[in-house]
């Protein structure tokens, strides 16, 4: 449900950046979404279509790069994607991990004209 | 034309959170963001903590709920300075809600501010409120698998409080196994086991809160 707040913030950010670039229209928005943020791209898409009406971002195409969560084993340095239930390192079975990806939530770039 | 942005989507929220942080610092207040599922025991933990620390620190509370002022009422009845935020459907608190609440609290009379977030293990995780500490409460009936299901909250917490230890004998919660997996994914967090009903573990938790208050104050 936090997609509403996320999309609203994203639209504000996109419109501000477009205005800064002196653009008339936003054609595309490239978004990076980490798996751990729990933000669902389909919801952002729907919200964006509604919220961007009558703004320079109306009709912009959203592209999402979804980043899966990634862990690095603190014992053997192995980097892996933790499975659903068991987060042990598949190489050495250690559970001492560092999460190194999956927290991302940012706009990478926009395409304007 | 392509324009590089590379900006956090929630940067507007983060800026207001920074304002909150500065205001709190100027008043020498330590703010603690309490997050958990609904019913894990956030309000009870606050009541117990106030009881335990009443000679040592003045505590204020911001209560976040979708609707009702039941929780703020409970706290006010116990003589605690509390203000209720109703999000009206929103599933988390954000920095601007906390900013408005701060304007309505007697900040000169508060040492520790507990911000009780909306009961939810997902959405509150992304929204910085300007707090000093993020504390997650997990109650034993919820099960010991929650850190893997909701990793954002559990990997970013400064402390985890396992509540309802009085029910351990009746529920499926492997405390030792949980300790290992949680410590594995979050080395920096302190881990407490408490019971809001019997008061077990509250003293240790309270001591940690006071230690953190000392650190926050000496950092200025």
Domain definitions of chain A by residue range? 3-68+102-112
Q: Which of A5, A62, A70 to mutate to test the interface with B (most CBs of B within 10 A)?
A: A5
Q: According to the model, what pLDDT value does residue A83 have?
A: 79
pTM, whole model, 2 decimals? 0.94
Distance from CA of B131 to the nearest CA of A (A): 19
A40-77 residue pLDDT tens: 999 999 999 999 999 999 999 999 999 999 999 999 99
Could you give the domains of chain B?
Answer: 11-218 (3.40.50.300)
Residue B59: the pLDDT is 97
HSE at residue A99, side-chain half, CA atoms within 13 A, is 29
Q: Report chain B's mean pLDDT, rounded to a whole number.
A: 95
The tokens of B35 are what? 């997050």
**What confidence score (pLDDT) does residue A87 get?**
85
CB B160 within 8 A of CB B198: no
Nearest in space to B105 (alpha carbons), one of B73, B60, B65: B60
Segment B201-210, tens digit of pLDDT: 999 999 999 9
State the best of A22, A36, A62, A113 to mutate against chain B, taking most chain B CBs within 10 Å: A36
Q: Specify the 3-state DSSP secondary structure of A95.
A: coil
CB contact under 8 A, B8 and A106: yes
* Domain A3-68+102-112: CATH architecture, name and number where available: 2-Layer Sandwich (3.30)
The lowest-confidence range among A1-5, A23-27, B120-124, B127-131 is: A1-5
CA atoms within 13 A on the CB side of B155: 23
Q: Which residue has the tokens 């969560």?
A: A69
Rounded mean pLDDT of A100-108? 96
- Average of pLDDT values for B142-156? 93
Poorest-pLDDT segment among A57-71, B3-17, B64-78, B168-182:
B64-78
Residue B33 has pLDDT above 80, yes or no: yes
């Amino acid at each position: 449900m936090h997609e509403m707040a996320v999309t609203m913030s994203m639209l504000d950010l996109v419109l501000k950046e477009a205005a800064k670039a002196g653009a008339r229209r936003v054609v595309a928005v490239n978004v990076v979404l980490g798996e751990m943020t729990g933000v669902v791209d389909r919801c952002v898409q729907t919200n964006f279509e509604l919220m961007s009406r009558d703004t320079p971002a109306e009709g912009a195409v959203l592209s999402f790069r979804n980043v899966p969560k990634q862990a690095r084993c603190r014992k053997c340095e192995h980097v892996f994607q933790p499975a659903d239930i068991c987060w042990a390192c598949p190489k050495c079975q250690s559970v001492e991990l560092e999460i190194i990806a999956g927290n991302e939530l940012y706009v990478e770039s926009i395409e304007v004209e | 034309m392509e324009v590089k942005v590379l900006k956090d989507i929630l940067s507007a929220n983060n800026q207001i959170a920074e304002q909150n942080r500065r205001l709190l610092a100027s008043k020498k207040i330590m703010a603690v963001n309490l997050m958990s599922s609904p019913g894990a025991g956030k309000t009870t933990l606050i009541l117990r903590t106030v009881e335990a620390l009443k000679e040592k620190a003045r505590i204020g509370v911001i209560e976040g709920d979708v609707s009702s002022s039941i929780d703020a009422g409970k706290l006010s009845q116990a003589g605690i300075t509390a203000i209720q935020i109703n999000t009206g459907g929103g599933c988390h608190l954000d920095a601007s809600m906390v900013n408005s609440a701060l304007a309505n609290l007697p900040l000169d009379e508060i040492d520790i501010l507990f911000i009780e977030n909306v009961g939810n293990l997902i959405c509150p995780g992304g929204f910085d409120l300007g707090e000093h500490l993020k504390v997650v409460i997990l109650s034993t009936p919820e099960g010991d698998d929650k850190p893997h299901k909701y990793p954002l909250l559990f990997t970013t917490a400064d402390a985890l409080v396992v509540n309802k230890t009085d029910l351990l004998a009746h529920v499926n919660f492997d405390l030792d196994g949980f300790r290992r997996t949680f410590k594995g994914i979050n080395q920096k967090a302190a881990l407490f086991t408490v019971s809001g009903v019997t008061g077990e573990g509250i003293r240790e938790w309270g001591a940690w809160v006071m230690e953190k208050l000392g650190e926050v104050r000496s950092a200025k």
